[in-house]
Amino acid sequence: MYEFEFEKPSTIADAVKALGEEDAQALGGGQTLIPTLKQRLAMPSTLVSLSGIAEMRGVCPDGDAIAIGGATTHAEVEAATADSYPALSALAGQIGDPAVRNRGTIGGSLANNDPSACYPAAALASGATIVTNAREIAADDYFQGLFTTALDEGEIITNVRMPVPQAAHYEKFVQPASRFALVGVFVARFADGVRVAVTGASEEGVFRWSEAEAALAGNFDPAAIDGLSVDAEGMIGDLHGTKAYRAHLVGVITKRAVAAAA
Amino acid sequence: MPKDSGIGASPKRREDVRFLTGTGNYTDDINLNGQAYVHFLRSDVAHGRLVSVDTSDAAAMPGVVRIFTGADFEGVGGLPCGWQVTDRFGEVMQEPAHPVLAQGKVRHVGDPIAAVVADTPEQARDAAEAIAVEMEELPAVINMKEAVKDGATKVHDDLTSNLCYDWGFVEENREAVDKAIQDAAHVTTLELVNNRLVANPMEPRVAVGDFNRATGESTLYTTSQNPHVIRLLMGAFVLGIPEHKLRVVAPDVGGGFGSKIFHYAEEAFCTFAAKALNRAVKWTSSRSEAFMSDAHGRDHVTKIELALDADNNFTALRTETYANMGAYLSTFAPSVPTWLHGTLMAGNYKTPLIYVNVKAVFTNTVAVDAYRGAGRPEATYQLERVIDKAARELGVDPIALRRQNFITEFPYATPVAVEYDTGDYVATMDKLEEIADLSGFAARRAASEAKGKLRGLGVNCYIEACGIAPSNLVGQLGARAGLYESATVRVNATGGIVVMTGSHSHGQGHETSFPQVIADMIGIPEDMVEIEHGDTANTPMGMGTYGSRSLAVGGSAMVRATEKIIAKAKKIAAHILEASDADIELKDGQFTVAGTDKSLAWGDVTLAAYVPHNYPLEDIEPGLEETAFYDPANFTYPSGAYACEVEVDPDTGKVTIESFAAADDFGNIVNPMIVDGQVHGGIGQGIGQALLEGCVYDEDGQLLSASFMDYAMPRADDLPFYKVDHSCQTPCTHNPLGVKGCGEAGAIGTPPAVVNAVVDALQSAGKDVTHIDMPLSPARVWAAMNG
């Protein structure tokens, strides 16, 4: 990696200030950023670690939702939501390996918005609110394409508020090498409807499959998906699967997610 | 009852104590006083002409000691190729130069252009980024069949084409095979790809070069499977350093799988630079560098035809393969698709006529060389796949078709130039059917179908030629080396033994299994025997470890040296006991005069050898140390039968291995636990090749599978618990231990079993799928099902 300065503030305000410096970069768990730095694909002037900010860690109930600090690790989310939001807990428990889960954070994952990451599916399907140091952003407005979000320069995800659905499940079909999602589908049934978020599949990153949501709203059953399909155009095509294969998997994996959630 | 010591016992691996507690001594653990670090600037294009390499800015950067380019290696030898293949027209292969650093052109992504030596690794890397390279990019040569067409862009301008050789074997059989295929009652044809693999040992390569100005001696510490071979190749052909001024040390090595056999540019560079700079120079490969600089494996494109008569007897076999050499000839690359492949095409079957054609092709990719099995997996895969396809076409049971055509009498001379000394293919197949519970398959298939999965059974056999090899034979075949092995057995005064072997353990457990043999021969505890290997300064000239040869060849050398020790010790004992040496018996570490109660302990005799007060000095010298070189009379021929059961998820194409059974005949077994482990590892790699691993270049020669993000290594949960059995034992007839070798079997026998099983599963559901190329990823299987 190239040389950089390192800061580990203990308050959000100090972190925001540090990130105001030119080319400063926030560091969550570093599970994407550190490999990127090691490959010299990024050259930040300062890394601002968010892991020392106590108010950004931990999970607590928040009415019908749960609030998760942006610097909470996957392992902490897995443990803390096992009873309150089992589908989210299971998702967190399937990310990477134990080393990744004990470093990587939910805020880091959502800020990075890797098109194959798991958390964006959970946030979008849950209708989460992304809370930053400056504002609150609805998940529907937050994800804006491949590695692109509504976050402004220097803006920090301090908290993620996830409404807890009546029923939910995340089904992940893994890419054989990386074990990221080749296709991952999070379905969440709420009193007022069903949300289906798909990760891994689209060139535009995580997306809601609205046709499936409409069909499932009337009949929360795998059979409701029969006959529905996503357009292969716009799907990712690579070494691990063609566009057509991913489009096919979106249907299969959605059905499985519904079956497991129902 | 299992034995608790000696040959046939399973003591735990003594080396694992240091491997598992972080106290091993790997090459990267070696740090020399004042060492500098090298970073290689590698090409990021597959093919290009170097217009200029400007190092002036980089050279002025902090910590930079010196920057080397191809110009510094003009007049220095290139990396040599250790095997010269003669083509079917009697011409020797085309052999391009392989410079240590690129000269004039780069020929693959990763080809080293310049080497920056600096005080720290970071400074070296910083400076490498400041080197200005002007390059005229050229079209990349990637597809082998395109590469050999007239007018194709040439990888090497000074060669006549991209064809390294066009090899025919046995050339005299060519017309007879053509005719037999023409006249056959049935011919099954299969076109397939044997996928390119990256070995990916856990430990990436490392080299540390050192130079002693006072003595003029160079030392190279390196991650090698055969330090003596590196000393010879690098000393004699690249750097011009005689062996007595060059020491090569390969300490603990964390896996090789073939990729650490070869002599690499980085080794020569570090040795060269250490002398030029009078300072130790170290290189540690990153995993990313390993993907683009370690020799790759396999990469064959093959068409095979099997001819059968009306009674389903095999009558002829014809196979045509395009074998990728990559951009340069790696050390043993030409031998892999020829002599390690063509000679195995008979398999376990009495096919009377066989013709093998191999076209070796240069492309703008990393060099391809031996990888666990080396040629034998490629032979086994195509043969066992085409037999399976034939059985399905003919509507006969694949096992029955194999049994019908088994070789049953030994020795057996194949039509592809080798003679199998022993084997019992019926016995291994019987054993397989038992341990794999094949009679219960139908019920298991029904159970899988009940949960919506397709179940398939794949069975195949394999034969391999191991224990390479008779030196006079391989010399005739083009090897530029002998393939004997050596051992020095040094008995110390108080009876402990150190064995210095030319074999090299990089995971095989020699430090445990070799002492079992010697302890058994003498009748002393195994912990009285230590194995030393890996340092040319204290081990006799050896050829190293690969091709499942260490016990068969290295172990045999050890046995011969120990026999000399025992013969001399008996003379000493006879003198002290005042008897004739012919009457001395050695058992359980005691020398006894036959028929009497007069005896001497092992330690009394060894002490006498070094304190020769009462000693036959007029007949024999003091001391007890013997060396033997063993050159095998033939290859060894391990064989076996494997069965794999898979489930295929019809909705996603995902394949899971539900069970895997292996019945192997390795001849005699020294340590059954280590053999189990070797087979387990081999099967794991075989499943990796079959389901997961695929090294892929795009048409511009960019490596798409350049990291573990895209190159899928098998993980524990990809693999089942294995049933392995090696109770079928037909000992090798020509080595003193009767052993055959077990290191590569799993990697050879496994891929066809997996693919046969998947095809069986799909056909059980009425899918018209006769073949899928590896790796059988979910996407490929789904595409085949929905063709």
Domains annotated on chain A, with CATH: 5-49 (3.30.43.10), 54-163 (3.30.465.10), 167-261 (3.30.390.50)
Backbone angles phi, psi at B323, to 5 degrees: -115, 125
Best of B41, B693, B782 to substitute, by most chain A Cβ atoms within 10 angstroms, is B782
Does some domain include residue B402?
no
- Chain B residues within an 8 Å CB radius of A247: none
- Residue B249: which pLDDT band, with cuts at 50, 70 and 90? very high
- What's the sign of the alpha-carbon dihedral B54, B55, B60, B61? positive
Average pLDDT estimate for B359-386: 98
Residue ranges for chain A with pLDDT beneath 70? none
Decide if B651 and A252 are in contact by the 8 Å CB cutoff: yes
CB atoms within 10 A of CB B191: 13
Instruction: State the Cα–Cα distance between residues A123 and A118, nearest whole angstrom.
Output: 9
- Chain B residues within an 8 Å CB radius of A37: none
pLDDT, one tens digit per residue, over B180-228 is: 999 999 999 999 999 999 999 999 999 999 999 999 999 999 999 999 9
- By residue count, chain B amounts to 787
CB burial of B607-632 (b: ≥16 within 10 Å; e: otherwise) equals bbbeebeebeeeebeeebbbbbbbbb
Does some domain include residue B200?
no
Nearest Cβ partner of A245 from B692, B712, B779?
B779
- Residue B580, pLDDT above cutoff 70: yes
3-state secondary structure (DSSP) of residue B224: coil
- Residue B410, pLDDT above cutoff 80: yes
Co-location of B160 and B303 in the same domain: yes
Compare all CA atoms of chain A with the CA of B288 and give the residue at the minimum distance.
A39
> Is B708 near chain A, with CB under 8 Å?
yes
Instruction: State the Cα–Cα distance between residues A226 and A208, nearest whole angstrom.
Output: 17
Average pLDDT estimate for B351-368: 98
Co-location of B160 and B237 in the same domain: no
- Residue B544, pLDDT above cutoff 60: yes
- Chain B residues within an 8 Å CB radius of A249: 652
**Residue of B486, B483, B739 lying closest to B636 (CA atoms):** B739
Instruction: State the Cα–Cα distance between residues A117 and B213, nearest whole angstrom.
Output: 56
Co-location of B231 and B355 in the same domain: no
Residue whose token pair is 């009462």:
B614
Confidence at residue B4, expressed as pLDDT on a 0 to 100 scale: 84
Does some domain include residue B758?
yes
> Is A174 near chain B, with CB under 8 Å?
no
The domain boundary residue, chosen from B610, B630, B650: B630
3-state secondary structure (DSSP) of residue B168: strand
Does some domain include residue B50?
yes
- Chain B residues within an 8 Å CB radius of A173: 652, 654, 778
Q: Of chain A residues 175-194, which have a CB less than 8 A from chain B?
A: 176-178, 182
**Residue of A188, A181, A194 lying closest to A249 (CA atoms):** A181
Does some domain include residue B175?
yes
Co-location of B648 and B783 in the same domain: yes
Read off the CATH number of the domain in which B187 is found. 3.30.365.10
Decide if A242 and B779 are in contact by the 8 Å CB cutoff: yes
- Residues 6+ positions from B391 with CB-CB distance below 8 Å: B397, B398, B400, B401
**Tally of domains in chain B:** 4
Co-location of B699 and B773 in the same domain: yes
Instruction: State the Cα–Cα distance between residues A134 and B553, nearest whole angstrom.
Output: 72
Does some domain include residue B18?
no
Decide if A240 and B694 are in contact by the 8 Å CB cutoff: no
Co-location of B314 and B369 in the same domain: yes
> Is B652 near chain A, with CB under 8 Å?
yes
Angstrom distances, CA of residue A234 to CA of A64, A203, B486, B740: 35, 6, 62, 55
> Is B779 near chain A, with CB under 8 Å?
yes
Read off the CATH number of the domain in which B43 is found. 3.90.1170.50
Co-location of B425 and B348 in the same domain: no
- Residue B1, pLDDT above cutoff 80: no
Nearest Cβ partner of B709 from A173, A178, A242?
A178
Q: Provide the residue type at B227 as one letter.
A: P
- Chain A residues within an 8 Å CB radius of B124: none
CA distance A109 to chain B (A): 17
> Is B255 near chain A, with CB under 8 Å?
no
Average pLDDT estimate for B64-75: 96
Residue whose token pair is 């809370």:
A131
Is there a contact between B168 and B357 (Cβ–Cβ < 8 Å)?
yes
- Chain B residues within an 8 Å CB radius of A39: 288
Decide if A239 and B694 are in contact by the 8 Å CB cutoff: yes
Decide if B708 and A178 are in contact by the 8 Å CB cutoff: yes
Domain around B179: 139-195+296-395
- Residue B2, pLDDT above cutoff 70: no
Residue whose token pair is 């080293």:
B112
Count residue pairs from A and B with Cβ separation < 8 A: 45
> Is B694 near chain A, with CB under 8 Å?
yes
Does some domain include residue B335?
yes
Residue B103: exposure state from Cβ atoms within 10 A (0-12, 13-18, ≥19) = middle
The domain boundary residue, chosen from B395, B411, B431: B395
Does some domain include residue B63?
yes
Co-location of B616 and B649 in the same domain: no
The domain boundary residue, chosen from B251, B284, B317: B284
Decide if A176 and B777 are in contact by the 8 Å CB cutoff: yes
- Chain B residues within an 8 Å CB radius of A248: 782
Co-location of B174 and B219 in the same domain: no
Adjacent-strand bridge partners of B117: B38, B66
Decide if B712 and A239 are in contact by the 8 Å CB cutoff: no
- Chain B residues within an 8 Å CB radius of A176: 691-692, 712, 777-778
Co-location of B386 and B532 in the same domain: no
- Chain A residues within an 8 Å CB radius of B129: 40
Co-location of B626 and B549 in the same domain: yes
What is the strand order of the sheet B300-308 is part of? B163-169, B353-362, B314-326, B300-308, B186-194
Decide if A39 and B782 are in contact by the 8 Å CB cutoff: no
pLDDT, one tens digit per residue, over B723-758 is: 999 999 999 999 999 999 999 999 999 999 999 999
Average pLDDT estimate for B717-721: 96
Average pLDDT estimate for B68-88: 95
> Is A217 near chain B, with CB under 8 Å?
no
Instruction: State the Cα–Cα distance between residues A164 and A167, nearest whole angstrom.
Output: 8
> Is B711 near chain A, with CB under 8 Å?
yes
Is there a contact between B484 and B543 (Cβ–Cβ < 8 Å)?
yes
Co-location of B563 and B585 in the same domain: yes
**Residue of B688, B666, B691 lying closest to B201 (CA atoms):** B688
- Chain B residues within an 8 Å CB radius of A40: 125, 129
Instruction: State the Cα–Cα distance between residues A205 and A200, nearest whole angstrom.
Output: 7
> Is B191 near chain A, with CB under 8 Å?
no
Angstrom distances, CA of residue B72 to CA of B67, B157, B216: 9, 22, 21
Decide if A176 and B694 are in contact by the 8 Å CB cutoff: no
Decide if A177 and B711 are in contact by the 8 Å CB cutoff: yes
Instruction: State the Cα–Cα distance between residues B735 and B559, nearest whole angstrom.
Output: 10
pTM above 0.95, yes or no: yes
Nearest Cβ partner of A177 from B125, B653, B712?
B712
What is the strand order of the sheet B454-463 is part of? B454-463, B639-648, B655-665, B722-725
- Chain A residues within an 8 Å CB radius of B125: 40
Instruction: State the Cα–Cα distance between residues B492 and B624, nearest whole angstrom.
Output: 7
Decide if A177 and B778 are in contact by the 8 Å CB cutoff: no
- Chain A residues within an 8 Å CB radius of B451: none
- Residue B620, pLDDT above cutoff 70: yes
